[in-house]
Structure 1
Amino acid sequence: MQITFDNIFIHSHITAENDLYNHYHFPEMLSRYDSNYIEFKTFPKLEDLKEAERYLREFHRKHGQKHVKFKFPANEKIPAELVKFLNQENYDIGFLELYAIEPHQFPDVKDNPDIKVQIVTEKNLRDFLALQYQQDIIFGRNFADQKVELNKRIFEDPAILQLLALYKGTPAGAVDVIITKNTAEIDNLGVDEAFQKKGIGSGIQKFVMDTFHDKTVILVADGQDTPKEMYKRQNYQYLGYQYYTQKVEE
């Protein structure tokens, strides 16, 4: 099957749609930028972008949100006219990269008795939530508190599997795996700083590969971050990119 950004799960709802864009809104977590934004179907003209900006800013302000975020069509560079405007208005511009792998292509991972990967159940949910909270608190208490509630809802979703990795018995890493008929999407993969470079991330991924050996494993990486280099070394196939822009307004 052909994998595109349309295969990536979005924690959000389409609250408005027209020929130019979809407006995603997630009242369950208003502080999550990745769930509250406009995604353009085609590149807007400058005046259309300004109008979408006015609309989204007003909408977000009514809901106590301080950010404005746009995603652009996949595998296309932002036109120079729009880049100039976004830079003038102090937007941050970044891009995402899409990767996929067939589980049998993942490199062999030596068994490490210090690392145990567990499916999250009622027994270890508290440990999972505590580890996630520790990683999310850097974005502020409000964000971390809302993320706890989101993680609890995800726990109840049969289409998403949460995994917790232990290093010598201590919670050290976690991931969400979003399951569809043909794909298993790795989302929110994180390892605590104190346990970096011990093979925990690879151990979590190997667990995913073994569990979903009959599916294509997919993920989205920040195009400006270092983990994408790890995915390339692990035989993931690069499939495309998507630009986005955002600004936080006080």
Structure 2
Amino acid sequence: MRIAAIDEHEEERVGRGFFAISLPLRVAAAVIVVGGLAFAVRQPPSMTAVPVLHRTTEIPAIVGTAPLRLTEPGIDPVRVEPGRIDPKSGLREDVLGRGSFAAIEAPVLRLAVTRGIGSERAPGLFVLAARRAALAGRGEAPLSVSRAVPRGVVATRFGPAEIAEATLTGGALTRACTAFVLTQPGLRIDGFLCAPLGGAPEPKSLACTLDALDFDDQSDPTASALFRQARARSACDGGGNAAADPAGKTGSIERRRSATKN
């Protein structure tokens, strides 16, 4: 009986000792687990899990200013912007401007000379006019085309130019202008011309303006030759009268025909 009592006493003593030793270990383990969870919460998510987005849109290459000029006299200076080369087509576009759309008392000209193989395959006149209006020049706000009515063609030194009476809007100001486009193999000239005081320019005014356009670049003998050949074909003296468009449409703008009764 005494041996059994001693054994029970030893087991009780050992049990109390094991509990005394294991309790601190359990507390320490719990502290480690809680600390590990807190550290994991504070860590930022791995950067490798964030997808990287790459720009795929090609932008035109900006190149030097072309020797494009306007010999027509005027108060406002002529501005020639740096050239832009389309990365897909390889066509080069040079933009020339004169005057401010906000200055209602003065004329406004904005045109683009596009060079390269295939530049004569132009989109419709309305598309070109909207593009030229939206791409504002230095210090100018973008414009929009609210209305465009075909007016046939005008004789110019470069050949016939398709024209349309275009209503351009910029902010609270609206002006009646003439949108135009003419093409030759490897060359396209498009833009718009606005007369002073809100009136639409006369056809002769456009012909004379294009008469004054000059370009001579040794690095582009093809376009330079086209301009030299056109110098002998002045249309300004001939009046630059507009002729009706026999096809009934100018570019992509269909002429509205008045309804007639049978």
Which protein has the bigger helix share?
1
TM-score normalised over the length of structure 2: 0.22
Q: Which has the higher contact order (CA 8 A, sep 6+)?
A: 1
Q: TM-score with structure 1 length normalisation?
A: 0.23
